[in-house]
Amino acid sequence: MHELGIAASILDSVQAEAARHAGSHISKVGIRVGELSGVDSDALQFGFECLVKGTDFEPLALEIEAVPRVQHCSCGHEFRMTDYDPHCARCGEFMTQCVSGDQLEIAFMEVDE
């Protein structure tokens, strides 16, 4: 379950940000999880809640945004890839490039001062 390690890394980032803003309270952290990242959002949410419970950060909320896989074609068309088919719906090109869906990143933190 690598989601627990990811949750711990997110919490480390929150702790570092909280240290930079002494006297404030971080109430929510938002992350983007791409469908190609291999991360189970439910397991990540559960692991995060377990790590936060009983700490100074409770009730810190984790908001997870699922990001779909998007391909870009040389014809300029961008499309959501379905059924593992990278063919462009507009021109039929097979060699399209993944431009979204592999990310795992912190998007925001809500800080109450």
Quote the domain boundaries for residue 12: 3-112
Determine the length of the chain: 113
The CATH number of the domain holding residue 75 is 3.30.2320.80
Question: 62: number of CA atoms within 13 Å, CB side?
Answer: 29
State yes or no: cis peptide before 59, omega within 30 of 0. Answer: yes
**Using CB atoms within 10 A of its CB, is residue 32 exposed (0-12), middle (13-18) or buried (19+)?**
middle
Total domains present in the chain:
1
Task: Write down the pTM of the prediction.
Answer: 0.85
Per-residue pLDDT tens digits of the chain, which is 113 residues long: 589 999 999 999 999 998 998 888 899 999 999 999 999 999 999 999 999 999 988 889 999 999 999 999 999 999 999 888 999 999 999 999 999 999 999 999 998 87
| Unique residue bearing structure tokens 């379950």 | 1
Q: 3-state DSSP call for residue 57?
A: coil
